[in-house]
Every structure is written in C-alpha cells, then in structure tokens.
Amino acid sequence: MILFLIFLIPVTASGQSGLAGAPGSWSRLGNSARSVAVGNAVIADTSFETAGFQSPALPALRRDRFTEVSSFSPGLDRQMHALYLTHPVGPAGAISYGLMYFSHGAIDIRNNNGEKTGSVSPWEAIGLVNFSLGLKRLPVTIGIGVKYRMSWLFEDVATASGFGIDAGAVWKTPVRNLTAAFVIQDMNAQYTWDTKDLYDEDGNTTIDYFPLRYRLGLSYVIQEGLVINGEWERWSWKNDVREFSVSNDPFPVTSVATRKDQEVTGSLFRLGTLWTPVRHLTFMTGLDRIASGESLRWSAGFRIDYPWIGPYLDFAVVADQQAPQTLFVLSAGYRF
C-alpha cells in the first residue's frame, strides 16, 4: 500500500516556466534507469550505484567497485548514453568517473526558399570526476565533483565547452534508517558561443548559463525491502536575453538589439519508492517535477540482480504529457 501513496499526493503548479529552455536540459532527465524510475529522488539514497551523477558525496558510502552503462530512447532520432565507474579509495573514500552523451540525427539546413542546403547532427557530452570521503567520528560524508561539458552545433561555430563544480554532503541522522543529503550542482557552469567566424562583423559572443541547483533530500527505510525517497530542489538561472527595438533616426529604419541578464528562479519536488518483495527483484516508481510549473513526469521500473556481487539489470519507463513519446531506459551493471 505504501508503494502507491506516491500517486495520491496532490500536485500543484507554481506558474514558473521551468528549466525546459535552460542549457543541459537533457542531462537533467536522469543518468540511469534507476534514477529515472524513482523520479531522480536519489541524493540521500545510500544504495544508489551511479550516485556520482547526482551527488558527489554518495560514492564513499558504497564499498564495492562497479561499472554501469545506460541507454535512453528519447525518440525523434535522438540518442543518449551514459557510462559510470566507481571504486573505493582507502578506508573511507571513493573516486568515481562518468560520461554522458547526447546526439541528434541529421537535421536539414534550408535556405529562405525552403531548399535543402545540407544537414547537421548536433551533439553534447559531459565528463565528470568525483571525490568523496567519510568524516572520522561523524556520520557525515562529503564530496566534490568536477564536470566538463562540451556542445557542438554545426561547422563555423566554435564548439562550446566549460567546467562546472558540484558539492554535496550526506548525513546519517540519529533517527534510525533516516538519511539526509544536500547538494549544490553546476556552480560556475556555462557555455560561450562565438559566431564571428560564421557571420563576420555581424557575429557575436553569447553566454549560456547553466541553472545553479540546490537540492535537499531524505531517504527512509520503512522496513527491510521498502524505501521511500523525497527531495526538494531550488534553482536559479541567469538567462542572457536580447530586447529588440526599432530606430528611425538616423534614416533608414534600423533594428537595435540590447542584451541583459534575466534572473529566473523556481523550485520542485520529487518522490520515489523502492520495493523488494523477493530477493533479486526490486520494483521502483517515482514522480518528478512536482509543483514545478512543467508537466508532471511519472516513472516506474524494476531491477533484476544478484545481491552484493555480480551483474544487475535495470529498466525504466517514463510518461510525460509534453514529451513526443514514452521514454524507455535500460541500464546494465556489474559489481566486482
């Protein structure tokens, strides 16, 4: 019964426009079938394998080595893949590595007459390294991560790239089976686009800022085999916008563009549940973007594995009324 309480929670909209137009929206979808299946409410879940994508502090709480590969089917001739590896360092530390890649199939380039003049296949990638450490005599684990992002649109436009910093902490509270976590993501992350090679003197330099994200999470083990996760996120996004005006002095009429930074903020909630009725089989469900102003994203999935060591397989399905089609995610991992 508890497993389905997540579906009964009232959902409200805040009126915010959300993060759909912000850079890196594809990477906020999730990084694996498990993260997607529980609505990405994972930053306090100490059993989460590919945690480094979501919180740099979590890997040190896992003392086993493992690797995982994930494949997403976003539709519309798009591809998304992820690779993750982590291993312990010393008695209380860990280091983890990750790669995420997103690409789009050929997009037609057409002139003003509608004639096709070529095609482009834009892509974007993320590489990350996380370091985490458990503090002596304290039930706290801290971590820091470095992300390198790269994006390519088409020829004659310089590839945009930039570094971002993540930081987080996980606290095993005095309340039995309750874990709390805090994460700051994408500090100083931005893209810089230069179109001067393409448009000469009409070209310009544009900065795309990534949203700065603050996340608070809780994970509670209700009983063996039943876990519920909750998360609240607050984000702020500095959007580089242009305002156009028309001037008729001096003649002829000209269009004048002025640029300014626009600060956009918002928040959302996430909920996720994991239920293991029998050994080797776990069911998962989640809700993402609750009270965000965007469409609610519902997800569900399952895991088949051999506990503690060996292979595991995760599968997730995501329903979003604004998405062009249902999303499927498949992840395969191995503990060693």
What is d(CA 34, CA 54) in angstroms, rounded to the nearest whole number?
12
Q: Which residue has the higher pLDDT, 303 or 323?
A: 303
Q: Which residue has the higher pLDDT, 51 or 164?
A: 164
Q: Is residue 17 one of the residues assigned to a domain?
A: no
Residue 166, pLDDT > 80, answer yes
Q: Is residue 172 one of the residues assigned to a domain?
A: yes
Residue 62, pLDDT > 50, answer yes
CATH number at residue 209: 2.40.160.60
Helix (H, G, I), strand (E, B) or coil at 20: coil
Residue by residue, DSSP assigns 156-224 as: TSPPEEEEEEEEEEEEE-SSTTEEEEEEEEEET-EEEEE-HHHHGGG--EEEEEPPEEEEEEEEEEEET
Pairing of strands 107-110, 116-120: antiparallel
Q: Which residue has the higher pLDDT, 18 or 94?
A: 94
Residue 126, pLDDT > 80, answer yes
Q: Is residue 195 one of the residues assigned to a domain?
A: yes
Domains contained in the chain, number: 1
Q: Is residue 16 one of the residues assigned to a domain?
A: no
pLDDT tens-place string over residues 63-113:
888 899 999 987 777 889 999 999 999 889 999 999 999 988 777 677 777
Of the candidates 208, 203, 202, the one whose C-alpha atom is nearest the C-alpha of residue 186 is 208
Name 140's Cβ contacts closer than 8 Å, sequence gap at least 6: 134, 169, 170, 171, 172
Quick one: average pLDDT of 322-326?
Answer: 73
Ranges assigned E (strand) in the chain? 66-75, 78-89, 93-104, 107-110, 116-120, 123-134, 140-152, 160-172, 178-187, 190-194, 205-209, 212-223, 226-247, 254-278, 281-290, 297-305, 310-320, 327-335
The predicted structure's pLDDT at residue 250: 56
Q: What is the DSSP letter of 47?
A: T
Using the CB atoms, write b or e for 122-132: b if 16+ within 10 Å: eebbbebebbb
Q: Which residue has the higher pLDDT, 130 or 18?
A: 130
What is d(CA 80, CA 98) in angstroms, rounded to the nearest whole number?
14
The predicted structure's pLDDT at residue 151: 86
Q: What is the DSSP letter of 24?
A: T
Q: Is the dihedral of CA 60, 285, 335, 276 positive or negative?
A: positive
The predicted structure's pLDDT at residue 13: 31
Quick one: average pLDDT of 198-227?
Answer: 87
pLDDT tens-place string over residues 216-251:
999 999 999 999 999 999 999 887 665 555 555 555
What is d(CA 285, CA 47) in angstroms, rounded to the nearest whole number?
16
pLDDT tens-place string over residues 249-301:
555 555 555 556 678 899 999 999 999 999 899 999 999 999 988 889 999 99
Residue 203, pLDDT > 60, answer yes
The predicted structure's pLDDT at residue 114: 76
Residue 10, pLDDT > 70, answer no
Tokens standing for residue 328 = 């499927």
Helix segments in the chain, DSSP class H: 33-37, 196-199
Residue 172, pLDDT > 80, answer yes
**Distance between first and last Cα of the chain:** 35
Contacts by 73-78, CB closer than 8 A, 24 or more apart: 73/327, 73/328, 73/329, 74/26, 74/29, 74/323, 74/327, 75/323, 75/324, 75/325, 75/327, 76/104, 76/324, 76/325, 77/104, 77/105, 77/106, 78/102, 78/103, 78/104, 78/105
The predicted structure's pLDDT at residue 93: 93
What is d(CA 40, CA 229) in angstroms, rounded to the nearest whole number?
9
Residue 15, pLDDT > 60, answer no
The predicted structure's pLDDT at residue 183: 98
pLDDT tens-place string over residues 20-59:
678 788 888 889 999 999 999 999 999 888 778 899 999 9
- Residue 3's pLDDT band (boundaries 50, 70, 90)? very low
**Parent domain of 165:** 34-104+120-335
What is d(CA 159, CA 11) in angstroms, rounded to the nearest whole number?
40
Q: Is residue 25 one of the residues assigned to a domain?
A: no
> Mean pLDDT, the chain, as a whole number?
83
What is d(CA 16, CA 268) in angstroms, rounded to the nearest whole number?
10
Q: Which residue has the higher pLDDT, 9 or 315?
A: 315
Q: Is residue 129 one of the residues assigned to a domain?
A: yes
